[in-house]
Homo-oligomer: A and B are copies of this chain.
Amino acid sequence: MNAKARGPIHKRIPEGDSRERLVCEECDFIFYDNPKLVVGAVVIAADGRFLLCRRAIEPSKGLWTIPAGFMELGETPEQGAAREASEEACAEIEIDALLAVYSVPRISQVQLIYRARLGGGERFAPGVESLETRLFSWDEIPWSELAFPSVTWALRHFDEMRGKTEFAPRLNPEKT
């Protein structure tokens, strides 16, 4: 995508559309603002422990998360989830299945969360966005210090799907 707009940007309904968009008043270039995709993975080591990262940045700085982040242009969701594991935990992962599709319409976000194994000799280390990376057994997971509700959902959904190779991806739990 090239930077096409050179004039001021205003919000208006373009011709033939039904919704307000950000439009350059000089060249009519339209910035379509669409929901953002987050891609991530519940990653386990060969001994069944979970790879979690303690966040070095806001929001939820200091709390634990699975490797996840905004999908970038030009990649598949699986490549994006692997990139996030590399960036946040310096880890190589092997993606197995789509575990969950969560949506947060309030902030126009859709999350695709995969089930993955820790590869690359099980090496991992904090990336620039992490204070700490660690493997936790199920009983050690710091449930009260997880960064986002969807991290809790993803870990619980992983647990429900253990041993299953063919299953529908989980959706938001009730009462959210």
A contacts, CB < 8 Å to B? 1-3, 5-11, 19, 22, 24, 31-37, 70-77, 79, 97-98, 101, 103, 105-106, 108, 110, 112, 166-169
B169 and A169 contacting across the interface, CB-CB below 8 Å: yes
Please measure, in the bound complex, the distance between the C-alpha atom of A97 and the C-alpha atom of B170, giving whole angstroms: 10
Tell whether A167 pairs with B169 under 8 Å between CB atoms, given A33-B73, A76-B105. Answer: no
Give the Cβ gap from A22 to chain B, nearest Cβ, in Å: 5
A11 and B22 contacting across the interface, CB-CB below 8 Å: no
Please measure, in the bound complex, the distance between the C-alpha atom of A33 and the C-alpha atom of B73, giving whole angstroms: 7
A72 and B167 contacting across the interface, CB-CB below 8 Å: no
Please measure, in the bound complex, the distance between the C-alpha atom of A34 and the C-alpha atom of B72, giving whole angstroms: 6
* A1 contact from B10, B33, B97, B166, Cβ within 8 A: B33
Interface centre among A7, A10, A103 (most CB of B within 10 A): A103
Please measure, in the bound complex, the distance between the C-alpha atom of A22 and the C-alpha atom of B2, giving whole angstroms: 8
A105 and B74 contacting across the interface, CB-CB below 8 Å: yes
B32 and A77 contacting across the interface, CB-CB below 8 Å: no
Give the Cβ gap from A126 to chain B, nearest Cβ, in Å: 17
Residue of B with least CB distance to A112: B101
Give the Cβ gap from A10 to chain B, nearest Cβ, in Å: 5
